[in-house]
């Protein structure tokens, strides 16, 4: 167990430092096709969570610049308004709107979803991007561990609750969940809220990101005949406000070799633009290509039953 964990960490380090960096992006970009990004999204509705900062901001801007109607879900009105006016001004697209919701609260997610659904418009693209890595064990007023609340519970609840709107946009609808390569270091763990001793925020974040990949797989199975595609992805290591705050060591270690926010958002936008026939629902993507969900010999694969019991727990925690 200990040896396997050490192996996972080492393999992740090697993979990360060679592939997740800016130089990894530059190398992979040699195979990118320019025409893949020249697709327009006029008339398409996209909801991006955590859209005021980092990868979410770059994603919202990239979608808006291609004509999409973009709903930017942010928790802070002021930060949201600043980002909104910046995107309207750089893209000239006035069909960009701000939605306020603190995703750490399941009841706010529910109110938002009810309000958003009342307009009955089809939702073509949902980007579950908002996320955080909190090192201390903080509990929300609803009693949820904070990393879990935002990264997992909100992703689960929001996606489930806007599913009817996604189905309205079928067969072109898709859900893109911004996971992380950090998930390679952790298997699924049924202690979703890290209630045991020795809380470790980085480990909890990696576990959360593993759940997002498993959820994507599960949604894909459940909704295969509904015309909605589900994709999880890793943006690489990008120089965002989130990384400087939560992983200042990473910035220092690979200083100058972190990706830009646009490079981090590149695969999110690519997934939003490609014809669905080109993509595999349930898969994990990195740099515009399918990537493995597990590192070799890492022992992180889960059974169907294990994933099912995580989904059951989420269903009950979120009461939906």
Ligand X SMILES: NC(=O)c1ccc[n+]([C@@H]2O[C@H](COP(=O)([O-])OP(=O)(O)OC[C@H]3O[C@@H](n4cnc5c(N)ncnc54)[C@H](OP(=O)(O)O)[C@@H]3O)[C@@H](O)[C@H]2O)c1
Q: Report the residue number, 154 or 298, with the smaller CB distance to ligand X.
A: 154
Q: Report the residue number, 50 or 282, with the smaller CB distance to ligand X.
A: 50
The C-alpha atoms of residue 86 and residue 61 are separated, in whole angstroms, by 9
DSSP secondary structure code for residue 69 in this structure:
E
Q: Report the residue number, 169 or 265, with the smaller CB distance to ligand X.
A: 265
DSSP-based three-state secondary structure for 222: helix
Let me know: does 193 contact 199? Beta carbons within 8 Å: no
The C-alpha atoms of residue 19 and residue 50 are separated, in whole angstroms, by 25
Which listed residue (71, 156, 184, 205) is catalytic? 205
Give me the least distance between CB of 209 and ligand X, in Å please.
Answer: 7
DSSP secondary structure code for residue 293 in this structure:
S
The C-alpha atoms of residue 129 and residue 134 are separated, in whole angstroms, by 16
Q: Report the residue number, 150 or 169, with the smaller CB distance to ligand X.
A: 150
Give me the least distance between CB of 158 and ligand X, in Å please.
Answer: 10
The C-alpha atoms of residue 272 and residue 37 are separated, in whole angstroms, by 10
- What are the residues binding ligand X (CB under 6 A)? 50, 52-56, 75-76, 79, 102-104, 129-132, 150, 178, 180, 234-235, 237-238, 240-243, 264
The verdict on whether 15 is a catalytic residue reads no
- Give the residues across from 145 on adjacent strands: 139
Give me the least distance between CB of 17 and ligand X, in Å please.
Answer: 13
Let me know: does 238 contact 259? Beta carbons within 8 Å: yes
Give me the least distance between CB of 160 and ligand X, in Å please.
Answer: 17
The residues carrying an active-site annotation are 205
């Amino acid at each position: 167990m200990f040896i396997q964990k050490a192996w996972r960490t080492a393999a992740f380090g090697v993979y990360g430092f060679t592939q997740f960096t800016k130089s990894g992006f530059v190398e992979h970009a040699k195979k990118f096709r320019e025409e893949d990004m020249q697709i327009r999204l006029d008339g398409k509705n996209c909801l991006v969570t955590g859209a005021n900062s980092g990868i979410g901001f770059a994603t919202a801007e990239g979608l808006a610049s291609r004509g999409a109607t973009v709903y930017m879900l942010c928790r802070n009105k002021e930060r949201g308004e600043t980002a909104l006016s910046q995107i309207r001004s750089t893209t000239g697209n006035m069909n960009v709107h701000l939605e306020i919701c603190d995703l750490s609260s399941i009841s706010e997610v529910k109110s938002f979803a009810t309000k958003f659904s009342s307009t009955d418009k089809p939702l073509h693209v949902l980007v579950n991007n908002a996320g955080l890595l909190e090192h201390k064990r903080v509990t929300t007023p609803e009693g949820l561990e904070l990393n879990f609340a935002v990264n997992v519970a909100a992703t689960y609840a929001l996606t489930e609750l806007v599913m009817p709107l996604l189905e309205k946009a079928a067969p072109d609808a898709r859900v893109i969940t911004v996971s992380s390569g950090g998930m390679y270091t952790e298997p699924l763990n049924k202690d979703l809220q890290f209630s045991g001793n020795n809380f470790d925020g980085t480990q909890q974040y990696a576990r959360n990101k593993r759940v997002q990949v498993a959820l994507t797989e599960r949604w894909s199975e459940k909704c295969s005949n509904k015309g909605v595609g589900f994709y999880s992805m890793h943006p690489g290591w990008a120089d965002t406000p989130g990384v400087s705050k939560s992983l200042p060591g990473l910035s220092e270690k690979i200083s100058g070799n972190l990706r830009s926010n646009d490079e981090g958002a590149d695969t999110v936008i690519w997934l939003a633009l490609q014809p669905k026939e080109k993509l595999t629902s349930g898969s994990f993507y990195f740099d515009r290509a399918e990537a493995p969900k597990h590192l070799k010999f890492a022992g992180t694969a889960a059974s169907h039953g294990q994933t099912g019991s995580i989904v059951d727990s989420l269903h009950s925690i979120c009461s939906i």
